[in-house]
Amino acid sequence: GENVEQHPSTLSVQEGDSAVIKCTYSDSASNYFPWYKQELGKRPQLIIDIRSNVGEKKDQRIAVTLNKTAKHFSLHITETQPEDSAVYFCAANGAAGNKLTFGGGTRVLVKP
Amino acid sequence: GAVVSQHPSWVICKSGTSVKIECRSLDFQATTMFWYRQFPKQSLMLMATSNEGSKATYEQGVEKDKFLINHASLTLSTLTVTSAHPEDSSFYICSARLAGSTDTQYFGPGTRLTVL
């Protein structure tokens, strides 16, 4: 099955700086890669996703890039704000395409 | 749109009892719902895929007789933890996928189960 690795596990940045989280996946048949943000004790919220037919997608301060050849994708947050502090999870849908495999998560702390 | 609710949000029960958790898609139909388990400071671990009108598909290592899943309608799936023990204490989260969609999942708020 699909295996997703996520790095780093923790990330501390100064407010206003950029944050980058990287994920690698094992199944070349994966074609859908969502990113979720989870605040403490709350539900994961979909913040952005990308499909394998594009290499980059941007939504305001958030962007995701995908390198299918290398089987990795990254989340970029620019101009970080304290409210960006949360745990971020990447995921991939695998060959069957009907379920998501999640990375281990990255705890992001934005220091004011 | 795409709101998913869970009930209860938290539950405390005695060892040996059974607990039922409901997952509802409030403003859309979901042919497929998923049940995850999340330990503190860890990732989401898929337990089973719940398909409306058919038997759930369980992930390797998840006991189907322990974690009973029913998906009787396009807006409701239930997870019953039978004969709960302290090691079943965890955060259980469901997600729902829009009917006709092949991938995007929307998560419920989770249920924190504590077994004494």
Say whether pLDDT at B101 is over 80. no
Tokens standing for A7? Answer: 């790095």
Distances (CA, A) of B18 to B5, B11, B67, B85: 21, 11, 10, 9
Of B4, B46, B110, the CB nearest to A99: B46
Statement: residue A53 has pLDDT above 90: no
Q: Which of B57, B105, B111 to mutate to test the interface with A (most CBs of A within 10 A)?
A: B105
Say if B43 is an interface residue toward chain A (CB within 8 Å).
Answer: yes
Please answer whether residues B85 and B15 qualify as being in contact, where contact means their C-beta atoms are separated by less than 8 angstroms. Answer: yes
**Residue range B30-46: average pLDDT?**
92
Q: How far apart are CA A57 and CA B69, in angstroms?
A: 36
Smallest CA–CA distance from B42 into chain A, residue: A104
Phi-psi region of B76 (alpha: psi -120 to 50; beta: other; left: phi over 0): beta
Q: What is the tens place of the pLDDT at every residue in A55-105?
A: 999 999 999 999 999 999 999 999 999 999 999 999 999 877 678 999 999
- Asked if A97 is an interface residue toward chain B (Cβ–Cβ < 8 A), one would say yes
Smallest CA–CA distance, residue B32 to chain A, in Å, is: 9
Q: Which of B43, B105, B109 sits opposite A42 (nearest CB)?
A: B109
For the cut 80, the answer to whether the pLDDT of residue B100 exceeds it is no
What's the length of chain B? 116
Looking at residue B63, its pLDDT comes to 94
pLDDT in tens, A32-47: 999 999 999 899 999 9
